[in-house]
Amino acid sequence: MTTRTPLMAGNWKMNLNHLEAIAHVQKLAFALADKDYEAVEVAVLPPFTDLRSVQTLVDGDKLKIKYGAQDISQHDSGAYTGEISGPMLAKLKCTYVAIGHSERRQYHDETDEIVNAKVKAAYKHGLTPILCVGEELEVREAGSHVAHTLAQVEGGLKDLPAEQAETVVIAYEPVWAIGTGKVCGAEDAQEVCAAVRGKLAELYSQDVADRIRIQYGGSVKAGNVAEIMAQADIDGALVGGASLDADEFVKIVRFRDQ
């Protein structure tokens, strides 16, 4: 049986400046300095402007916390005002990059084609994509949430070889559950995550699918994380609001104690 190391990632979105980031990561590192959490991978996704400070802290103190960006340009360099490239993120030793978050799809018109180009850009520069997928409320109400999410998975991974795909992280984030306090029922989340794993098996192989980590995201808190993590196909959480509170995020990382 494949054992997948749970990945708890905090997506800070547009919150915390670089000084606040330093204080926040120090708090997390202090609270997680014992061995209890070693079986869980912990990552933060701060705004671009914080990455250098987070890198300096993590490198200097040899922290086990990983970090990454919330987006990446599909281009390596050039006249793309405001964009941040894969080589820049790689130089900052980012491990992860979130791609296709629903807020990018919604406010920046990111299509599956763009998401796919960004996933390829991440791999080109040695970054691990956290490919975000999930349906809006209307889609859920129409009963098409599984098909919608699987189409996003397929579109995001298009033409990606198995050697790359097997390290991707998929984050299932139903849009209606993001920042709303309406957590998707654990069994409903499991239904979609199991279908995502089935799609990965169809696209690659069962072996590859069994190695890919699938996170749930959307109003995850210390109070609901244990139930979510108890689901067979959920291997971690992508946490927004609750990741801004160090104590709460630490409790989420220690989901086995909740």
Ligand X SMILES: O=C(CO)COP(=O)(O)O
Active site residues: 101, 173
Handedness of CA 119, 200, 243, 5 (dihedral sign): negative
Residue 238, interface with ligand X (CB under 6 A)? yes
Residue type, position 13, single letter: K
Residue 218, interface with ligand X (CB under 6 A)? yes
Residue 133, interface with ligand X (CB under 6 A)? no
CB of 70 to ligand X, least distance (A): 8
Out of 68, 100, 156, 217, which residue is the one contacting ligand X (CB under 6 A)? 217
Query: Is 93 annotated as contributing to ligand binding?
Result: no
* Residue 229 backbone dihedrals phi, psi, to 5 degrees: -70, -15
Among residues 90, 155, 80, 154, the alpha carbon closest in space to that of 128 is found at 90
Whose Cβ is closer to ligand X: residue 46's or residue 241's? 241
CB of 66 to ligand X, least distance (A): 16
x/- track of binding to ligand X for residues 63-102 (CB under 6 A): --------------------------------------x-
The CA distances from residue 46 to 55, 142, 216, 219, in Å, are 11, 35, 19, 18
CB of 213 to ligand X, least distance (A): 15
Q: What whole-number distance in Å separates Cα of residue 67 and Cα of residue 46? A: 8
* Secondary structure letter of residue 126 according to DSSP: T
Query: Is 60 annotated as contributing to ligand binding?
Result: no
Contact predicate 114/161, CB 8 Å: no
x/- track of binding to ligand X for residues 172-201 (CB under 6 A): -x----xx----------------------
Q: What is the total count of residues that contact ligand X (CB under 6 A)?
A: 14
Q: Are strands 169-172 and 128-133 parallel, antiparallel or unpaired?
A: parallel
Q: What whole-number distance in Å separates Cα of residue 177 and Cα of residue 63? A: 32
x/- track of binding to ligand X for residues 1-40 (CB under 6 A): ----------x-----------------------------
The helix (H) or strand (E) run that includes residue 166 is: none
CB of 106 to ligand X, least distance (A): 11
Query: Is 240 annotated as contributing to ligand binding?
Result: yes
Residue 239, interface with ligand X (CB under 6 A)? yes
Q: Is 91 helix (H, G, I), strand (E, B) or coil?
A: helix
The helix (H) or strand (E) run that includes residue 189 is: helix 186-203
The gap from C-alpha 209 to its chain's centroid, in whole angstroms, comes to 17
Task: Please give the annotated binding residues for substrate, written as ranges.
Answer: 11-13, 179, 219, 240-241
The residues of the shown chain that bind ligand X, judged by CB under 6 A, are: 11, 101, 173, 178-179, 217-220, 238-242
